[in-house]
Structure 1
Amino acid sequence: MPITPELYNAQIDNEDIQVDAWADTPLLQSLEEGGVDWPSSCRNGTCRTCVGRLKSGSVHYEIEWPGLSAEDKEAGCILPCVAYPDGNVVLMRGEY
């Protein structure tokens, strides 16, 4: 019997938006499937079009080093196109 991945919530800070976010699905895909208009382009972690900031929660990447500097990561920036949720997350739009 296949194991069903964990289902979490992804919320956009200061907006009345919350979508389902599966543990095995990039956040950008979950946002789009939930009707959220989030900017994107490359979908492989290099162009930074989709960059946002993680206000709470955590994510992981299946690629070795997405297009984020150490400073970006320290500031909480994420690339939703290649970021997978580890639990419920709250995102902020744009780079900070």
Structure 2
Amino acid sequence: MTILGTGLHFEAVPGETLLAAARRQGVLMPSACRNGTCRECRCRVGQGQVRHTIAWPGLSADEKREGWVLPCVAEAESDVELDAPRAKAAP
């Protein structure tokens, strides 16, 4: 995974959410509920494919079409570039 515009990179293993992979490797992304309802972690996919681990996460159909994802309940299906401007390296 690459966070666009930040130089941050991290890898996810199969079955690991984007949020969990980021945290495991020292990349902090905003989050609260970690179950797809609060939308605090919402960001956009610039390139690549992800799939949500729940049938209907807290996104509208329009948001999904526009490339918005919830990293707390999304897994990578390819190399992914995320537009997540609030992501940062852990201190």
Secondary structure at 1:54 match in 2: strand
In the alignment, residue 26 of structure 1 is paired with which amino acid? T
Q: CA deviation at 1:61?
A: 1.6
Higher strand share: 1
Corresponding residue for residue 55 of structure 2: 64
In the alignment, residue 57 of structure 1 is paired with which amino acid? G
Q: So what's the TM-score if we normalise by structure 2?
A: 0.89
Give aligned pairs, total. 85
Secondary structure at 1:72 match in 2: helix
Unaligned residue ranges in structure 1 (runs of 5+): 1-9
- Supply the distance in 2 between the matched residues of 1:23 and 1:88 (Cα, whole angstroms): 12
Q: CA deviation at 1:92?
A: 0.6
- Supply the distance in 1 between the matched residues of 2:66 and 2:52 (Cα, whole angstroms): 17
Q: CA deviation at 1:46?
A: 0.5
Secondary structure at 2:30 match in 1: coil
Q: Does 1:90 align with 2:81?
A: yes
Q: Does 1:79 align with 2:70?
A: yes
Q: Does 1:35 align with 2:22?
A: no
- Supply the distance in 1 between the matched residues of 2:74 and 2:14 (Cα, whole angstroms): 10
Mapping 1:15-34, distance limit 5 Å: 15-34=6-25
Q: So what's the TM-score if we normalise by structure 1?
A: 0.85
In the alignment, residue 81 of structure 1 is paired with which amino acid? C
Corresponding residue for residue 51 of structure 1: 42
Unaligned residue ranges in structure 2 (runs of 5+): 86-91
Q: CA deviation at 1:93?
A: 1.2
Secondary structure at 1:73 match in 2: helix
Name which structure has the greater RCO, CA cutoff 8 Å, separation 6+: 2
